[in-house]
Amino acid sequence: MSNEQIVSEVESLNKEYRYLNEVSIQESSAKGKLSGVCVSVKDCIVVKDMQSRAGSRVLTGYSPVFDATVIQKVREQGGTIIGKTSQDEFGFGSFNTNVGLGLNIPLNPFDKTRCCGGSSGGAAGLTQKAGFHHIALSESTGGSIVCPAAFCGVYGLCPTYGLVSRYGLMDYANSLDKIGPMAKKVEDVALMLEVIAGYDEKDSTSVKHEKEEYSSFVGKDISGMKIGVIKESLGEGVDPQIASTIQEKIAVLESKGATVEEVSLPLNNSYSLAAYYLIAMCETSTNLSKYCGMRYGKHESLEGSFNEYFSGVRSEHFSAEAKRRIIIGTFARMSGFRDAYYIKALKVRTKLIEEYKKTFESYDVLISPTMPVIAPTFSEIGQMSPLDHYRMDILTVGPNLAGLPHMNIPAGFSKDMPVGLMVIGNHFDEGKLLQIGKVLE
């Protein structure tokens, strides 16, 4: 396909489904693993000379002067960048409906009255619909890769925290953010991970981990693998049709020689949501302070005191969900409340990590549904409270808090909508996730 054909396909898809905030082609002159592959980039990952807004109106007009490390790596391997995909503002959401004023809310590829999931909804929808060879770069803080991948029926892998550089990623919550790939095929997920993984001195949380050939895991047999099925994830609150679809896939894994047992993660089941939202909001309330109408994006005419100026810009250009998170996050780390909320959440986080680590002494991977429901309709979403939104992430926040790799695998359909199975691995066990993914493809 020529560049013109790709642009015209993306533009017509965009008219119908609104997957991108910015359609713009940047070719690479290099030859490598991604030659001939189109790469879309979640709006929060900076691309030089391409408007990058993280789904927020406050960043209107921000055209980065540098590339994120992952973008540099994509270019070195010959990938063609095709634009910036729609997302919840700074990653704040599970349905991609919390977008900055005037930005795109993507429509589900299987039913336009339903959402794509979030926060990387545009990436997932485009991955499902693109008729050309395409891999998406997306990002997860608490589930933003696997949730939309589940709702749109594609693969999405969130790697171990620190495996992929965050340099050039606009922070949501630094201790939680990870960049990872989405694709229609397991091979492409492995390929992109191979390209973007690796130590980066520009990211102080980047990990020195030996380089791995992720593609070599695709197609490797799983006999003898020990799989734990998370008991709480198939019980109350989970759509029974989703639970039965997951059970069918578990039977497939057993038939391929894996041993399957039920495991219980009571601490994660009870406390991961509360710990996640406190930590994520505390971190983001400090991260968003740099968007004040001085450095990036929106500027207004300087009137009044600095406080009045900053408040004016922020009041006008942040959406309601961003403001909610700034207020809650600031409250939870104020002196007088910090010990009761932020510090306690950090302690709980350690307990949750210990629970996973103990479980991985006996199991290679853990399995659950990715989401407890199929993609909701926009009218259902309109009736949910903010807490109802947060509760949707019950199954995905645990592995994110623990920095564990996890992947969505399309598992079937319920009411004609995709159902996702989530496989969670121990730190740096991305290979095992790819093995399971291929067996179920």
Nearer to ligand GLN by Cβ, of 158 and 230: the residue is 158
Nearer to ligand GLN by Cβ, of 93 and 198: the residue is 93
CB of 6 to ligand GLN, least distance (A): 28
Nearer to ligand GLN by Cβ, of 192 and 394: the residue is 394
Does residue 233 have an active-site annotation? Answer: no
What angle is formed at CA 298 by the lines to CA 55 and CA 322, rounded to 5 degrees?
A: 45
Count CA atoms within 13 Å of residue 428 on its CB side: 11
CB of 184 to ligand GLN, least distance (A): 21
CB of 121 to ligand GLN, least distance (A): 11
Classify residue 413 as exposed, middle or buried by CB count within 10 Å of its CB (0-12, 13-18, 19+). Answer: middle
CB of 433 to ligand GLN, least distance (A): 18
CB of 341 to ligand GLN, least distance (A): 16
- Which of 86, 144, 165, 285 is labelled catalytic? 144
Nearer to ligand GLN by Cβ, of 172 and 428: the residue is 172
Amino acid identity of residue 137, one-letter, is: L
Classify residue 76 as exposed, middle or buried by CB count within 10 Å of its CB (0-12, 13-18, 19+). Answer: middle
How far apart are alpha carbons 224 and 303 in whole angstroms?
Answer: 68
Nearer to ligand GLN by Cβ, of 148 and 228: the residue is 148
How far apart are alpha carbons 73 and 231 in whole angstroms?
Answer: 40
Does residue 344 have an active-site annotation? Answer: no
**Structural contact between residues 132 and 38, judged by C-beta atoms closer than 8 angstroms:** yes
CB of 218 to ligand GLN, least distance (A): 25
Nearer to ligand GLN by Cβ, of 222 and 322: the residue is 322
Distance spanning both ends of the chain, measured CA to CA: 26
Does residue 119 have an active-site annotation? Answer: yes
Nearest Cα to 37, choosing from 7, 81, 2? 81
**Beta-bridge partner residues of 164:** 197
Amino acid identity of residue 251, one-letter, is: A
Nearest Cα to 201, choosing from 258, 255, 228, 162? 162
Hunting for tokens 């209107």 — which residue is that? 60
Q: Assign 408 to helix, strand or coil.
A: strand
Classify residue 15 as exposed, middle or buried by CB count within 10 Å of its CB (0-12, 13-18, 19+). Answer: exposed
CB of 148 to ligand GLN, least distance (A): 10
Nearer to ligand GLN by Cβ, of 173 and 411: the residue is 173
Q: Which residues contact 296 (CB under 8 A, 6 or more apart)?
A: 59, 62, 290
- Which of 40, 52, 119, 138 is labelled catalytic? 119
> CA Rg, the chain, in Å?
20
**Chain residues in the site for ligand GLN (CB under 6 A):** 91-94, 119, 140-144, 172, 280, 393
Active site residues: 42, 119, 144
